[in-house]
A and B are shown apart, each in its own frame.
Chain A
Amino acid sequence: MMAQLTSSERQNIIAIGLAILIGGFTLAILGRNDILGIHALLFVAAGGLAIIVGARNLYKPEPSEDRSQSYYDDPSKVGIFLALIWGIFGMFIGDWIAWLMAFPDMTFSEGWSSFGRLRPSHTTGVIFGFGGNALIATSFHVVQRTSRARLPSQVLPWFVLWGYNLFCLLGVTGYFMGITQSREYAEPEWYADIWLVIVWVSYFGLYIWTLARRKEPHIYVSNWYYMAFILVVAVLHIVNNLAVPLSWGSAKSYSLFSGVQDAMTQWWYGHNAVAFFLTAGFLGMMYYYLPKRAQRPIYSYRMSIISFWGITFFYMWAGSHHLHYTALPHWVQNLGMSFSVMLLVPSWASAGNALMTLNGAWHRVRDDAVLRFMMVAAIFYGLSTFEGSFMAIRPVNSLSHYTDWTVGHVHSGALGWVAMIVFGSFYALVPWLWKRKSMYSARLIEVHFWLALAGTVVYVFALWNAGIIQGLMWRTYNDGGTLAYSFMESVDAMRPYYVARGIGGLLFLTGTILCLYNVWMTTRMATETDTESVDQSVATLQPAE
């Protein structure tokens, strides 16, 4: 991991570690009378680790000069493992709390293990831990290949990767202790938020710096998406997390906005976290790994332009569909609904572009589970974006909102689209990165594919049923003109579906564990001697015109 770093870079790592250590120590002292005092020790530990790693390697031999002729892939390799470990953690918590909804006492009596604290650990673990690390790892790989340029720094990528994981860790450990802002998918408190801003600005800097050094005249589509992901998430993160802490020594803060404005800001963030974190970034992944694996150019260059700008523009209007029939003014609700429906056009243009790219390579899809992961991802992307637009229509939303249908919809996107494209991309990428002939076991990939697909289908069907039954029970009147069901009757009716969901989640989790095993075993296989150089052509990526 440190072998490619020059001694001045190792010194830089020690300096950065020292800065984090001092910052963390200051925060711990300021917060000594608060829970912040304990939480800030994570910064101290992270800084200390960086110093130790830097110091232990300080006098190792300098790397050879010809390293600049090849790509810098070590951060991507570590990122893949981090993503899978976070994925297993997040999915484990997710399945645990899924079972809690059928058997509520299947937990410990301490606060950390209660549903309300585990739930954000699940969402943070899978969205930011699993998804975010996968995005960082693949973006480093893709930007170098499509630019034919090596990452310009060997320290910054590590800072971005480990700094980002520190943020995830701050989030999850915080929830266990009851530290949360309650803003969905933005729960970490102010100090973790500020830390993420620092990391994220470095990420953007690194990305644009690499692009600036590119040898390809054009910036490939994947990079548009990765850039939109980095930039827009930064804007969303900063605006949504504006808050006033009690003091510099307190973990608690109060959001700057209140009530209706706060709700709108939060769902503007929340929906666009889906758009730019869970969609744009992963579309970037798809636009690179799918054509590479299928060995066919992207079907339409123009469709990719239309869908990119369509997604960038329309999505930002759609957040208010989370607030239909609430105290949010009607005009905002209507704008949100209208743009959500329009959003189907660029969404399906992307999904269609992916599937049309596979047209002519169906025999490969049949034989290759890796490509099948990607195809299923594109199909689920199309399905869940259609479902999303449909659910954003006010009368549909009056039935679906607040029910498990929403949860089913989210998971059709998260499991069916996001996780599937990650698995497909990882299985394609791992042998390239580690220079192996193939993955350790094609058979395990096949098993993983069917586990993941079965898990997703069971999960999504269970919650479609659950949600629609729930929604109907809440609004059904009997002949006398009064409500037919008590709320508890609707809870009781959910039980079989919650059990089914727990089983679906377990299948999916099992598949992810197999994936980690398969990747680990691949890295232990013998190396193929075929080094990929910066000057290698990226001709297969050129879109058909």
Chain B
Amino acid sequence: MFKTHYKLERNSVALALGIIVVSGIGGLVEIAPLFTIDETVEETQDMRTYTPLELMGRNIYISEGCYACHSQMVRTLRNEVERYGPYSLAVESKYDHPHLWGSKRTGPDLARVGAKYSDAWHVAHLINPRDVVPTSIMPKYGWLAKTPLEMKDLSLHLKAQQRVGVPYTDEQVENATADAYAQATPESAGQDGVLERYGEATNVRAFDGDPKTVTQMDALVAYLQIIGQLTQVPYADNNSEKKGE
């Protein structure tokens, strides 16, 4: 073995090829099958895609680096299920390009935060976390409520999502900007279109409390309220024996 190496280390190209081959095996064995083994991601009927407004909220969550302190992955551990809710299923992040499972909980996990607090609580908390949680160490995000949401290229966003495999219909792509506006502006003409395209259960509200302008705050709160709510499968009764353990 050492004799072979004695030869190998005299040939730079062979050494480079050796490194590529030896290092390539692990990734191939662990990653490639995740795309082909069907059980990797569960089947669901009721899984919906993010609305354009929620998707933009998700992009703000990414831009602001929220993922650095909040995970979105309840592990299969009793204390986590009791603290946060049902453990996360792979299918829940099926449309998440990229995933936001996170790696650190400076703040709590957010996989089950959707529909847990009111919009007003989220807005107050984002403007100054210490107003609602006195010892919180979260940063303030006051500018979100003052910054209008950039909405003109939303069709491009949905189109790019389509390209990476999220099943947006062409109708959804075409109406992306109108739908984002309508979702944050209740009683507007476009409201029915949003419900028709994304389902009756879609939240149509002035998320930041101000129906006049669509702000980054509207988008982020809309996103926070839908986390863990795209499918109801994790909460279904037939899952309960897994839940409690």
Q: B-contacting residues of A (Cβ < 8 Å)?
A: 34, 100-102, 104-105, 107, 109-111, 114-117, 119-120, 175, 178-184, 208, 211-212, 217-219, 224, 227-228, 231-232, 235, 239, 243-247, 250, 252-266, 268, 276, 302, 305, 309, 312-320, 322-329, 332, 335-336, 339, 398, 401-403, 406-407, 474-475, 477, 482-483, 487-488, 491-492
Contacts and interface: CB of A to CB of B under 8 A. Distances in A.
B103 A184 contact: yes
A420 to B, nearest CB: 25
Interface stretch (B87-95, B182-190, B193-201, B203-211): B87-95
Given A182-B67, A258-B93, A326 B5 contact: no
Contacts of B163: 244, 254
| A contact face: mostly helix, strand, loop, or mixed | helix
Given A219-B12, A266-B99, A116 B94 contact: no
21 contacts: A104-B129, A115-B69, A120-B68, A183-B98, A224-B19, A228-B19, A231-B23, A254-B160, A254-B161, A254-B163, A258-B95, A258-B165, A259-B91, A261-B31, A262-B97, A314-B26, A335-B29, A474-B80, A482-B82, A487-B108, A491-B137
B75 interface: yes
Interface string B70-96: 010101110110110001111111111
B67, B137, B161 — most chain A CB neighbours (10 Å): B137
A279 B160 CA distance: 36
Interface residues of B, number: 88
Contacts of B2: 302, 305
Interface string B120-145: 00000000011001011111111100
Contacts of B97: 254-258, 262
Contacts of A101: 106, 137
Nearest to B30: A332
Contacts of B80: 474
B135 A488 contact: yes
Given A253-B160, A261-B34, A483-B79, A227 B23 contact: no
A488 B105 CA distance: 12
B10 interface: yes
B35 interface: yes
Interface of B: 2, 5, 9-10, 12-13, 15-16, 19-20, 22-27, 29-31, 34-35, 37, 39-41, 59, 62-69, 71, 73, 75-77, 79-80, 82-83, 87-109, 129-130, 133, 135-143, 153, 156-157, 159-161, 163-166
A111 B30 contact: no
Contacts of B157: 246, 252, 254
B5 to A, nearest CB: 5
